[in-house]
Amino acid sequence: MSIVLKGLSKTFGQFPAVKKVELEIPTGDFVALLGPSGSGKTTLLRLIAGLEGPNSGEILFNGEDFTAKSVKERKVGFVFQHYALFKHMTIFDNIAFGLKVRPRKHRPSKEAINSKVEELLKLVQLEGLGERYPSQLSGGQRQRVALARALAVEPEVLLLDEPFGALDAKVRQELRGWLRELHQKLNITTVFVTHDQEEAMEMADTVVVMNNGRIEQTGSPENVYENPVTPFVYSFLGRVNEFRGNSLENYTPYGVDKPFSDKEVGYIRPHEIGLSRTFVNNSYPAEVSHVNKVGAAVRIELRRLDTDDLFEAELSAEKYNIMGGLKRGDQLFAEFQNLVIFNGNTLRNSEFELPPSNLVLRPEEVRS
């Protein structure tokens, strides 16, 4: 089922939690609503589910206006952060619940319910555990039961609110891959809320970045990471160096025709900073202040010797080894290869005299 949100707004008392949201979700898409606490993710999910009514705007399912339709009519499956299983019921009965409470004429036969639950237990890899009670399962297993219960009624949309939020890091990691595979198998339009950018980037086909009740950017994980359209998205997704106001002149070796204002901020990702032991064009001397080697990437904190600015660079372990390793106090040359400058929410890209070779200014069209 496809979902379209048009000018959707929701206010609690005087407080606008969701502001004029426009979003199109094609059938079968796997979407992450990503943003900091209080940005409106859960409210948006609840609006899609029909658990909240909007103050204005429309919700279309497969092109049909569902704005005023009840939760039941929407055919959505919902999974919350806290699995909320019925403690006094077995896993089997928990999964069967949605089918058993259907009005008699829509209720499947006992045999059909049995085989559906067995099929779902297999799907969520809990075969043979149907007779246990929730207290006899691990957190990750319980959350898979919650998912099986949501899937039992064959929803056309699956809505997940921080489904792995209460689990420890290792289990979360396992369930991410598992849910991704499950989605590939079932291809149900799925929207999940997370404030964990790694989770969103790893699992979703489409990431919707929210801030203050608004959508800041929608796109594939690569696209929102590589081409952030606002300073918020730059700083929220992944690590980034920020340089403000006057200090930006130190990163534009060919000069600018107008001085930088206090509102201007330049962003550069750590992996977009080249490091070498010898001088290269447009590079600046810098001293290593800390080295943090984690897995395939090495994070290096440095201080520019000419300006005292602090920044972070990232090298692959391979490049790091080729450089012969690094330690505090090493003197290097840093090349800032992709500085992107915003004035408020607008890219400053037309005022440079000559785009220098190491200053990649992103054309407007890339942003749209």
Ligand X SMILES: Nc1ncnc2c1ncn2[C@@H]1O[C@H](COP(=O)(O)OP(=O)(O)OP(=O)(O)O)[C@@H](O)[C@H]1O
- Asked if residue 143 binds ligand X (CB under 6 A), the reply is no
250: which strand partners? none
- Asked if residue 155 binds ligand X (CB under 6 A), the reply is no
Tell me how far, at minimum, the Cβ of 18 lies from ligand X, in Å.
7
Tell me how far, at minimum, the Cβ of 38 lies from ligand X, in Å.
4
Tell me how far, at minimum, the Cβ of 8 lies from ligand X, in Å.
12
- Asked if residue 282 binds ligand X (CB under 6 A), the reply is no
Classify 343 as helix, strand or coil: strand
Classify 366 as helix, strand or coil: helix
Tell me how far, at minimum, the Cβ of 319 lies from ligand X, in Å.
36
Between 44 and 182, CB nearer to ligand X: 44
CA angle (106, 111, 113) in 5-degree steps: 55
Tokens of 123: 């799907």
Tell me how far, at minimum, the Cβ of 256 lies from ligand X, in Å.
38
Residues with Cβ within 8 Å of 249's Cβ and at least 6 positions away in sequence, in order, are: 255, 256, 259, 260
Between 34 and 99, CB nearer to ligand X: 34
Tell me how far, at minimum, the Cβ of 87 lies from ligand X, in Å.
24
Between 199 and 330, CB nearer to ligand X: 199
- Asked if residue 163 binds ligand X (CB under 6 A), the reply is no
CA angle (316, 282, 244) in 5-degree steps: 85
Classify 110 as helix, strand or coil: helix
Write the DSSP assignment of 200-267 as a string of letters: HHHH-SEEEEEETTEEEEEE-HHHHHHS-SSHHHHHHSS--EEEEGGGGGGG-TT-BSSPPPTTEEEE
Between 41 and 116, CB nearer to ligand X: 41
> Among residue numbers 192 through 221, which ones bind ligand X (CB under 6 A)?
193, 195
Between 12 and 254, CB nearer to ligand X: 12
Between 15 and 262, CB nearer to ligand X: 15
Tell me how far, at minimum, the Cβ of 107 lies from ligand X, in Å.
34
Between 17 and 229, CB nearer to ligand X: 17
Tell me how far, at minimum, the Cβ of 78 lies from ligand X, in Å.
14
Q: Which candidate, 177, 217, 234, 185, places its Cα nearest to that of 33?
A: 217
Between 12 and 279, CB nearer to ligand X: 12
Judge contact between 291 and 324, C-beta under 8 A.
no
Tell me how far, at minimum, the Cβ of 44 lies from ligand X, in Å.
7
Tokens of 279: 């001088």
Give the DSSP letter of residue 38. T
Out of 34, 35, 47, 172, the only residue in the binding site for ligand X (CB under 6 A) is 35
Out of 15, 106, 170, 324, the only residue in the binding site for ligand X (CB under 6 A) is 15
- Asked if residue 254 binds ligand X (CB under 6 A), the reply is no
Q: Which candidate, 260, 252, 244, 271, places its Cα nearest to that of 356?
A: 252
Judge contact between 250 and 306, C-beta under 8 A.
yes
Q: Of the listed pieces 31-39, 98-106, 236-244, 254-262, which binds ligand X according to CB under 6 A?
A: 31-39
Between 37 and 350, CB nearer to ligand X: 37
Q: How many CA atoms lie within 13 A of 282 on its CB side?
A: 18
Q: Are strands 331-336 and 283-294 parallel, antiparallel or unpaired?
A: antiparallel
> Among residue numbers 315 through 344, which ones bind ligand X (CB under 6 A)?
none
- Count of residues that interact with ligand X, criterion CB under 6 A: 13
- Asked if residue 144 binds ligand X (CB under 6 A), the reply is no
Instruction: Report the C-alpha gap between 205 and 217 in whole angstroms.
Output: 14
Site string for ligand X, 38-57 (x = CB under 6 A): xxxxxx--------------
Interface ranges with ligand X (CB under 6 A): 12, 15, 17, 35, 37-43, 193, 195
